[in-house]
Structure 1
Amino acid sequence: KTTTLGREGSDYSAAIIAYCIDAKEITIFKDVSGVLSADPREFENTVLLHQISYKEAVELAFFGASVIHPKTLQPLQNKKIPLRVKSFVNPLEKGTLVANGVDIEPKIPCFILKKDQILISISDKDFHFIMEDDISEIFDYLHQYSLKVNLIQNSAISFTVCVEDNFNNFGDLVQDLNARYKVLYNKNLTLYTIRHFTDETIKKIEKGKKVFIKQLSRETVQIVVQN
């Protein structure tokens, strides 16, 4: 049966072959010099990351960095096969090494931007708590209408998600949710994700913007804003 491998299929094919033949290393050529600290089309003064771990590469890809797809990394990580990302424009440059157990170098903030985001806040019409059953039902609707969830926040009486509506199903989603819940939303927002953030980088992103949500963990901050 013939099938297609989807987005980044050529990279994935190379990773599978490398896995099968126990390759010592795999090199993938892109139109950039390697894995950068941000998309040069959206940010100035981007920096080449000389090396990152598989885990860091997956984290960056999960939040929206597009150089390496997570499915390409899985077979390589399983056999600890190093991956080098290089530029086909300047193939003699070293590019970025992705390998097991290496630290990110240089360790600097990495920025990921997603436009056209929708922030949805959902609460019970009868002022009841939002419980696990409610959250499960909401996710069923999100899956049914193929909305990609990029951020989640919940409180006692509300559940908030930042989503992408890639298939123009948002109106149908709201119609179904309104049957039981009170739904508020804001469209045309931007989601910034910063890995290895500093206070200075957060202030830089927030400057001159209306902030709707900011979530911080040990290594990552996500900020939903309106420019």
Structure 2
Amino acid sequence: MIQPLVFKFGGASIKDAASIKNVAQLVKKRWTNSLVLVVSAAGNTTDRLEEVIELSLKEKRYDKELLELLTYHEDLCRSLFSPEHPIFTRVDNHFAQLRRLLETDTLKAEEGFFYDQIIGYGELISTRILQEYLCETGNPCIWQDARELVRTDSTTRMARVDWALTMQHCRRILIPKLEQFPVITQGFIGTDLLGNTTTLGREGSDFTAAILGVSLGASAVTIWKDVAGILNGDPDIFPDAVKFDYLDFEEAAEMTYYGAKVIHPKTIKPLAKHGIPLYVKSFLNPEMAGTVIGSFGQAPRIPITIFKNNLTLIDLRIRDLSMVGGFHFECIYEVAKKANWRIQLVQASAAHLRVLIQDMPVSDEQLTRPFRDVFQVQIRRQLKMITVKNPTDAEVKHYRQVAEKCYLEQKSPELVQWVYEPEYP
């Protein structure tokens, strides 16, 4: 049985014609029948589609925005193909389908469902363009709809994967194709048991690569980025950031959980469980070694600084002092599960509990309602969390300079975290 190799390319790697040509050259040098390419929407297409969705839900006109997206993709094609190439018809057909969905009022009854039916068109179109260009330049490959492979539940915007069904579909559909040609497919999207399109969460294409890697028993998964690998800090903030040559799965998982943006948080766990190494490499300098994530045990104790934005702090104070110490954690996590919260941090004292979550598109009233009978509740939104793993005295001293702006501090021997107002740093 073949052992595939999975490559994932994000939107920045195919943002224009020169970038697509670069990806084609990169892939050509590594061409093998058992190659699976997972590709995101081109450039900032997903952001633009979100704008169109918002306008449609508000019953405002979106013709200008949709035309700009169509023109962007047609310009890409004009730079890569002859005028009579069938790719132009394929792209036009996708946009016609997209417009029909946007005009279907019955889909808008549930905003999350409507979002899922629309947003994946960026990936569907980008993979069509890249697949046709690879075939045009002598690298024949097969276009595959990821919705036939990745099966999920019906949770909107962040569906949960049905691993058993997904593995079954991947092996039945992909293995025979990979015995003949490489396959190109979309990140981010799947389908539920009713046949509706679902999404895996923003930036979920990394997770798709892991899902396919595990389902196919891949030899490795490689995520191609515009950085040389995983660094110990954001290079825009820390010019002297250090690249890791290797990282243990656990260290990488913690980095993504606390907000490191190089890899989608859900990517690490399935690969670690199945012992599949993950490479993070640069599509700008593909011959560089990059970073490999695997089972290495204790990684070098280098300070790692991670910033995470758009957080909401739910501050809970007990109303009845006879209940001091009984914080009903089961209730809190039950609420979190039902509301699909992404909890970042929980801090408790005798009469006080703080829960930090990723910001949710809901009102303060909706957030506080489940707790008001037991707690006094205060909400603070749009906060920033700074996490330092393996901190030295220098990091602790630096960030404590703004202690007066700190809403929350949490410390352990291997980790220090501060939650601040967003204007810092």
Q: Alpha carbons of 1:169 and 1:40: their partners in 2 closer, same or farther (altered >3 Å)?
A: farther
1:62 Cα shift?
1.3
Structure 2 residue 273 is matched with structure 1 residue 78: yes
Q: Which residue of 2 aligns with 1:91?
A: 286
Structure 1 range deviating more: 30-39 or 143-152: 143-152
1:16 Cα shift?
4.5
User: What SS is found at the alignment partner of 2:334?
Assistant: helix
Structure 1 range deviating more: 91-100 or 171-180: 171-180
Structure 1 range deviating more: 56-65 or 21-30: 21-30
Give the alignment of 1:47-86 within 5 angstroms: 47-86=242-281
In 2, Cα distance between the equivalents of 1:13 and 1:143?
A: 22
Q: Which residue of 2 aligns with 1:119?
A: 313
**Alpha-carbon deviations, 1:20-55, whole Å to 9, x = none?**
665444322112111111223444432211111011
Give the alignment of 1:67-216 within 5 angstroms: 67-105=262-300, 107-132=301-326, 134-209=328-403, 210-216=405-411
Q: Which residue of 2 aligns with 1:36?
A: 231
**Alpha-carbon deviations, 1:51-83, whole Å to 9, x = none?**
110111111111121222344333432342322
Structure 1 range deviating more: 148-157 or 179-188: 179-188
**Alpha-carbon deviations, 1:132-187, whole Å to 9, x = none?**
56332233333444433211111111111122222224331224422332123433
Residue pair 1:135, 1:159 contacting (<8 A) in 2 also? no
In 2, Cα distance between the equivalents of 1:116 and 1:11?
A: 21
1:189 Cα shift?
2.5
Indicate the structure with greater helix content: 2
User: What SS is found at the alignment partner of 1:140?
Assistant: helix
User: What SS is found at the alignment partner of 2:322?
Assistant: coil
Runs (5+) with no aligned partner, structure 1? none
1:95 Cα shift?
0.6
Q: Percent identity between the aligned chains?
A: 31
In 2, Cα distance between the equivalents of 1:212 and 1:152?
A: 13
Residue pair 2:320, 2:374 contacting (<8 A) in 1 also? no
Runs (5+) with no aligned partner, structure 2? 1-146, 152-188, 191-199
In 2, Cα distance between the equivalents of 1:17 and 1:189?
A: 35
In 1, Cα distance between the equivalents of 2:227 and 2:362?
A: 31
* Aligned alpha-carbon RMSD (Å): 2.6
Structure 2 residue 417 is matched with structure 1 residue 222: yes
In 2, Cα distance between the equivalents of 1:62 and 1:16?
A: 18
Residue pair 2:364, 2:379 contacting (<8 A) in 1 also? no
TM-score of the superposition, structure 1-length normalised? 0.84
- Asked which structure has the greater CA Rg, the reply is 2
TM-score of the superposition, structure 2-length normalised? 0.48
1:205 Cα shift?
1.9
> What amino acid does structure 1 have at the position aligned with 2:289?
K
Residue pair 1:145, 1:170 contacting (<8 A) in 2 also? no
In 1, Cα distance between the equivalents of 2:380 and 2:320?
A: 23
In 2, Cα distance between the equivalents of 1:76 and 1:175?
A: 38
Residue pair 2:359, 2:382 contacting (<8 A) in 1 also? no
Greater RCO (CA < 8 Å, at least 6 residues apart) = 1
Residue pair 1:38, 1:112 contacting (<8 A) in 2 also? yes
> What amino acid does structure 2 have at the position aligned with 1:153?
Q
Structure 1 range deviating more: 89-98 or 139-148: 139-148
> What amino acid does structure 1 have at the position aligned with 2:360?
N
1:104 Cα shift?
2.7
Aligned residue pairs total 226
User: What SS is found at the alignment partner of 2:268?
Assistant: helix
Indicate the structure with greater strand content: 1
